[in-house]
Amino acid sequence: MREAKVSVDDVSATSGLLELQTMDSRIREAQGRADAYGPQLGEIAAVAERAAEAADETGCRVRDLQVEERRRRLAAEEKTGRVRRLEERLKQVRTLREEAAVQAELAVLKRAVEQEEMEVIQLLDQVSRLEERLRDQREELEGAESEADPRRDELLAEHAMAVAQVERLNVVRDEIRAGIDPRLLRAYDHLARGGSRKAVARMTEDGACGSCYSVMPLQIQNEIRTRAPLVRCEACGLLVAAPTDEADGD
Ligand SMILES: [Zn+2]
């Protein structure tokens, strides 16, 4: 389907739309730069968060091992008490058979005490190694936090500057739009989809659309060159403006 021709015999309309398109693309870039600060700030927070999580996890392990160590120590103490009572009983035995029975029980119990004490030593060893790791992790966390604060402030300041730049460009954009015929603005907005796509292209010197490079009919080429109207390219639908020299050299 052939698009309706939008044509205005006004050189300023041509340069106005091209100016608007350039501004829209600058705003899009500036907005992109401003938006990029979000993930950067998030990454800074994530580093400190990961360090805090690692320290928390080690802290929990230390507490669990300390509970286990206490349980083993009490068990060892209880068994040591039983060993002492059996040794008392040994002094009072009357028969060899009775002595043998008590000795056997003692031997089993002493082995059990040794076992528990060994476990206690191993647990204490693990606790002290984990406490050392916990100290390192807390130092790391402090380092991450003290590094994150100034970096965060720096990024927030840069972000504020980028946002202000977008606002300044938007003021200029409004001024440019105020100088353009509303009918052309509607055509531009429709094609540009809020500035996210190209809407205007200059015709090339040899008479082709500057976007899709289809050659324009000679009569249209002449209209574009002589009166600088904005005509839609029949192939891609973009508004085609006069080549640079003819449009700007007045
Ligand atoms: Zn085209």
What separation in Å is there between the alpha carbon of 216 and the centre of ligand 1? Answer: 9
Residue 1 has what pLDDT?
38
Question: Residues 225, 8: contact at Cβ < 8 Å?
Answer: no
Residues 98 and 152 in one domain: yes
What separation in Å is there between the alpha carbon of 202 and the centre of ligand 1? Answer: 10
Residues 225 and 106 in one domain: no
What distance in Å separates the CA atoms of residue 6 and residue 46, rounded to the nearest whole number?
Answer: 53
Residues 101 and 85 in one domain: yes
What distance in Å separates the CA atoms of residue 173 and residue 195, rounded to the nearest whole number?
Answer: 11
CATH number for position 153? 1.10.287.1700
Residues 38 and 104 in one domain: yes
- In terms of phi and psi (left: phi > 0; alpha: psi -120 to 50; beta: otherwise), the region of 126 is alpha
Is 2 inside any structural domain? no
Global pTM value: 0.66
What separation in Å is there between the alpha carbon of 129 and the centre of ligand 1? Answer: 72
Instruction: Give 27-56 pLDDT, tens digit per residue.
Output: 999 999 999 999 999 999 999 999 999 999
What distance in Å separates the CA atoms of residue 177 and residue 169, rounded to the nearest whole number?
Answer: 12
Is 6 inside any structural domain? no
What separation in Å is there between the alpha carbon of 214 and the centre of ligand 1? Answer: 6
Question: Residues 181, 8: contact at Cβ < 8 Å?
Answer: yes
- In terms of phi and psi (left: phi > 0; alpha: psi -120 to 50; beta: otherwise), the region of 233 is beta
What separation in Å is there between the alpha carbon of 211 and the centre of ligand 1? Answer: 5
CATH number for position 243? 1.10.287.1490
Domain boundary among 115, 138, 168: 168
Domain boundary among 168, 202, 236: 168
Is 161 inside any structural domain? yes
Residues 50 and 160 in one domain: yes
Domain boundary among 142, 168, 194: 168
Is 72 inside any structural domain? yes
What separation in Å is there between the alpha carbon of 1 and the centre of ligand 1? Answer: 14
Residues 193 and 99 in one domain: no
- Give the Cβ contact number of residue 233 at 10 Å: 21
208 has which bridge partners?
Answer: 215
Residues 72 and 93 in one domain: yes
What separation in Å is there between the alpha carbon of 239 and the centre of ligand 1? Answer: 8
Residue 250 has what pLDDT?
38
Domains held by the chain: number:
2
Is 197 inside any structural domain? yes
10-residue mean pLDDT series, the chain (250 residues) = 46 80 94 95 92 96 97 96 95 94 96 96 97 96 91 95 97 94 89 82 93 94 84 91 60
Instruction: Give 177-218 pLDDT, tens digit per residue.
Output: 999 989 889 989 999 886 678 999 999 999 999 999 999 999
Residues 46 and 84 in one domain: yes
Residues 149 and 72 in one domain: yes
Name residue 104's amino acid. A
φ/ψ (deg, to 5) at 206: -95, 20
Residue 194 has what pLDDT?
66
Question: Residues 181, 42: contact at Cβ < 8 Å?
Answer: no
Question: Residues 123, 64: contact at Cβ < 8 Å?
Answer: no
Question: Residues 127, 69: contact at Cβ < 8 Å?
Answer: yes
Is 5 inside any structural domain? no
SS3 238: coil
Give residue 239's domain range. 11-29+178-248
Residue 246 has what pLDDT?
43
What separation in Å is there between the alpha carbon of 215 and the centre of ligand 1? Answer: 8
Question: Residues 89, 70: contact at Cβ < 8 Å?
Answer: no
